Structure 1
């Protein structure tokens, strides 16, 4: 029966209290929520004798067997070691499903629920805050101090140091999503492995601006027909404060360039030659993705894509209240257009 503030979350989850058998980890930073849920699951499993078993259930599992969650949590393992069950809230995993587990039973296992932003009066949050065996743990986007800690957490075990200037540059380029930030730091550490110290030149070479990187991922996923990835990256960008109209503009610029490059290929140039002649030249890391897109898209499909983008841009300017919905619909439409051309 506890509500853990965001600044207390890391310390609270590092040493799980045996009084609690249910945890709600919630907040707008999906990466941080996931990382902390994974961390407490591992800590609980390690503290059990014999070690506990971590089980992840998704919406498909629950849809196939609505009783699976309660069975996993209420069944006493034959050979000891509790089940630690991780789930995310969804249309199947709801307050109505979870509340009876908090109210009516002593759980044999441990329940860890991951959720997005929840208001103070949200029914699920209140259920965990009031239940005697449960804790609700708030997780909010990383600030500079949090990112400093993540940088040290990644670099110290590898015996890597980082200059003050490089650290400052790195923090400025990382976004609010913990998992994405950790991934960028790990990529930088791999790049600098063996040289002892990371410099500003290393950061410049490896880590792009977080907002630009996220928008690039939206654009590339859409252009390669991966609608699910495009929507995931889009939600990250919108949550981080990116403008829907700005994202539409970036998509429009990319597809206009793709149309121009496709015309050059249709005129007889190879894809490699066309990309090599681009001015200004693109980064080598982008070349493979762009080549794949040129192999995917034909001129007629690009004409349709540009028409759809223009329509979405006009609609977003007229009705800013709907711009988030419009940009999501746009990236899904582009993803569908990409598939038949493959």
Structure 2
């Protein structure tokens, strides 16, 4: 699924202010120099800390502390017939927070990530080690830049994070605090904010007289089309909303023509994928006085909980802690999914307190729910139950490969949990840290399974599942028997 970023073309003159305006004496640079960086362990942590220190400046009173926790991961892909890998992907995940030293409270929490793929040449181990070292350092530099950009936005005019500024603009406030956008993305949040902007013009976003949807290809092929639509007079509305959901660089000339047209009276909202600094569309949006670029950061933690509680309160609902955690795990941080589930809970409960049982009764089944009982039976070593679930799924016409892949996903989850436990985390904490999160109904089962599956057993299980799928594709009619054999073998191993 493509991740997206919302961009807004706004006729109200929005003065886009560079994050680092004023150079080393500017507001942001001064704020960054007041941040001390806590030690970050491991080689990648040292490189990351050094990159941050180079760009944050020295001296001055330290009023804040930046705390960073990192996790490195290496995964092989490009598997040959002899099961050797030809490529590796090295990733660096960083969770960081900015702490106010005066009251010891966290005023900003966020995550940063970078990954780089390298070639694996087993005939030259030195080249592999060298490439891994270089990739690790580049990941650290990339993460450092993301953290610095995020801190820059947070420390900019008004000292507010970009998402909060976006909400104020969408609610009709003058967009005077717009900062240079950072192009990270959250597809659900993009849709949420696109709706907020759109409703400033069109109360009903499905009204064909008030809303015009265009595709990027149409706009790119006809440079004048966007400008014409944006300046057209509505038949039954004062202003129209023009929406483009797949904006790309190819339509930059059309966007520029629209922005330079003095007769434009309608609002245009663009949604684009992650745009690099070299993107022509991004450069135009940042530089033009009539354009507003809005970055949509992935939300988690306290900010998302606050939004969920507020959205529930609007419907007269009060979420118990367990119910809130279950909803967050179910929705995966997607606001539109969470809003839909809140609407169902409102109808189901009639208002008031919402319990975990209410969430269990209302939340829709997931696409893989049909395999959950089988996966939990096999991974839990319950052989008789695994046989019964296999027979049920076979009677329903489910393919053997689909069952294998459902179990393989659980094996990979358990492997991530065991790696987290090896780094010192408890089983429950390691399960909670999984991304995407484990569905709340499966949390206890995954935690228990992590205690019985070692990394060695998980690696063997992964190989068996992949080999079985390959054999099924080659065998034709024997597929279900091969899948059944592999699943029951793994259920037996889980009991040991």
TM-score normalised to structure 2 length: 0.38
Contact 1:26 1:114 in 2 (8 A): no
The 2-side partners of 1:278 and 1:188 are apart by 34
Residue 16 of structure 2 corresponds to 2
Measured after TM superposition, the shift of residue 79 of structure 1 is 6.8
Residue 98 of structure 1 corresponds to 255
Higher relative contact order (CA 8 A, sep 6+): 1
Residue 239 of structure 2 corresponds to 82
The 2-side partners of 1:197 and 1:80 are apart by 41
Residue 187 of structure 1 corresponds to 344
Residue 142 of structure 1 corresponds to 299
The 2-side partners of 1:151 and 1:71 are apart by 40
| SS of aligned partner of 1:2 | coil
Residue 457 of structure 2 corresponds to none
Contact 1:25 1:33 in 2 (8 A): no
The 2-side partners of 1:134 and 1:124 are apart by 11
Measured after TM superposition, the shift of residue 42 of structure 1 is 0.9
Whether 2:211 is the aligned partner of 1:197: answer: no
Deviates more, 1:34-43 or 1:142-151: 142-151
Measured after TM superposition, the shift of residue 125 of structure 1 is 2.2
Measured after TM superposition, the shift of residue 137 of structure 1 is 0.8
TM-score normalised to structure 1 length: 0.52
Q: Say how many residue pairs are matched.
A: 234
Decide which structure has greater strand share. Answer: 2
The 1-side partners of 2:235 and 2:289 are apart by 26
Measured after TM superposition, the shift of residue 60 of structure 1 is 7.3
Question: Aligned match of 1:113 in 248, 270, 273?
Answer: 270
Measured after TM superposition, the shift of residue 136 of structure 1 is 0.6
Q: For the structure 1 residues 130 and 199, does the alpha-carbon distance in structure 2 shift closer, same or farther, using more than 3 Å as the test?
A: same
Residue 308 of structure 2 corresponds to 151
Measured after TM superposition, the shift of residue 84 of structure 1 is 1.6
Measured after TM superposition, the shift of residue 11 of structure 1 is 1.6
Gaps of 5+ in 1: 47-51, 224-249, 258-276, 283-289, 314-342
Residue 34 of structure 1 corresponds to 191
The 2-side partners of 1:101 and 1:128 are apart by 12
The 1-side partners of 2:248 and 2:292 are apart by 22
Q: For the structure 1 residues 132 and 111, does the alpha-carbon distance in structure 2 shift closer, same or farther, using more than 3 Å as the test?
A: same
CA radius of gyration, larger in: 2
The 1-side partners of 2:220 and 2:183 are apart by 23
Contact 2:341 2:363 in 1 (8 A): yes
Residue 53 of structure 1 corresponds to 210
Gaps of 5+ in 2: 1-14, 18-152, 154-161, 204-208, 379-386, 410-496
Measured after TM superposition, the shift of residue 29 of structure 1 is 1.4
The 2-side partners of 1:26 and 1:72 are apart by 27
The 1-side partners of 2:391 and 2:298 are apart by 35
Contact 2:231 2:264 in 1 (8 A): yes
Matches within 5 A, 1:202-241: 202-207=358-363, 216-217=366-367
Q: For the structure 1 residues 80 and 66, does the alpha-carbon distance in structure 2 shift closer, same or farther, using more than 3 Å as the test?
A: same
Q: For the structure 1 residues 81 and 104, does the alpha-carbon distance in structure 2 shift closer, same or farther, using more than 3 Å as the test?
A: closer
